[in-house]
Chains A and B, each alone.
Chain A
Amino acid sequence: MTETYFIKTNFDLCTGCGLCQLACSERLLGGYNPHRAAIRIRHLSENLYHFPVVCNHCRNPFCANVCPAGAIFRDAATGAVKVDSEACTACGLCQRFCPIGMIRVDPDRKAAVKCDLCAGEEPRCVSACPTGALIKVTVKNAAETEGVR
Chain B
Amino acid sequence: MNDGYMGRFLFIDLTNRSVSRPPVPEWLKTDYIGGKGFGARLLTDLCPTGADPMGPDNPLMFFTGPLTSTAAPSMRACMVTKSPLTGLYLDSFFGGRFGPEIKYAGYDGIVIVGCADTPTYLWIGPEGRVAFRDAAAIWGQNALEANRSVKQDLHEPEAQVVTIGQAGENRVLFSLVTCEYNRQAGRGGAGAVMGAKNLKAVAVKGKHLVKVHHPESFSEACRRSRSELSASQEVAALSQFGTSAAVSFSAAIGSIPFRNFQNQADEAAEKLGDTAQGRHLFLAKAACFGCPIHCSQMGAVRTGKFATFVTDTVEYESAAMMGANLDIHDIRAVAHLTRLCDEYGLDTISAGNVIGFAFEAAERGIIAAPAGVDLRFGSIDGAEYLLEAIAARKGPLGRLLAGGVKRAGDKIGKKASDYAMHVKGMEVPAWGPRGTPGMGLAYMTSDRGACHQRGFMISYELAGEPFEGKPVQAETLAGKAEILRNRQDYLSGTDTLVKCDFGAMGISADSYARMLSAATGRNADPASFWLIGERIWNLTRLFNLREGMKTEDERLPKRVEDPLPGGPLKGKKISGKDAAYMLADYYRIRGWDEQGRPRKETLKRLNLIDAPTFVYPTDFSQEKR
Contact = CB atoms under 8 A, between A and B. Distances in A.
A32 B291 contact: no
B71 A17 contact: no
Contacts of A25: 209
Interface in A21-51: 22-23, 25-26, 29-36, 45-50
Contact of B207 (A12, A23, A33): A33
Nearest to B211: A31
Interface residues of A, number: 29
Nearest to A40: B158
Interface in A112-132: 128, 130-131
Nearest to A31: B209
Interface in B299-314: 300, 310, 312
B71 A33 contact: no
A36 B310 contact: no
A23 B215 CA distance: 11
Contacts of B286: 15-16, 47-48, 50
Interface in B203-240: 205-211, 215, 219, 226
B71 A46 contact: no
A18 interface: yes
A15 B238 CA distance: 14
Contacts, number: 91
A135 interface: no
B104 interface: yes
B290 A19 contact: yes
Interface residues of B, number: 39
Contact of A46 (B181, B209, B210, B219): B181
Contacts of A15: 284-287, 294, 296
Given A47-B182, A47-B286, A30 B215 contact: yes
Given A18-B290, A22-B70, A48-B300, A33 B104 contact: yes
Given A18-B97, A33-B104, A33-B207, A131 B298 contact: no
B294 A131 contact: yes
B149 to A, nearest CB: 14
Given A16-B287, A17-B292, A29 B209 contact: yes
Contacts of B289: 17-18, 34
Given A15-B287, A31-B209, A47 B298 contact: yes
B302 to A, nearest CB: 12
Contacts of B300: 48
B288 A17 contact: yes
A49 B299 CA distance: 10
Majority-rule SS of B interface residues: loop
A37 to B, nearest CB: 11
Contacts of A16: 286-287
A46 B284 contact: no
Contacts of A108: 209
A101 to B, nearest CB: 10
Interface string B505-517: 0000000000000
Contacts of A45: 310
Contacts of B208: 33
Interface in B88-104: 97, 100, 104
A130 B294 contact: yes
Given A48-B300, A48-B310, A31 B210 contact: yes
Contacts of B292: 17, 19, 130
B144 interface: yes
Interface string B171-196: 00000000011100000000000000
B209 A47 contact: no
6 contacts: A15-B287, A19-B290, A25-B209, A31-B210, A32-B211, A48-B310
Interface of B: 2, 69-71, 73, 97, 100, 104, 144, 158, 180-182, 205-211, 215, 219, 226, 283-292, 294, 296, 298, 300, 310, 312
Sort A-B residue pairs by CB-CB distance and give the 7 closest, nearest first.
A31-B209, A17-B287, A15-B287, A130-B292, A15-B294, A31-B211, A32-B210
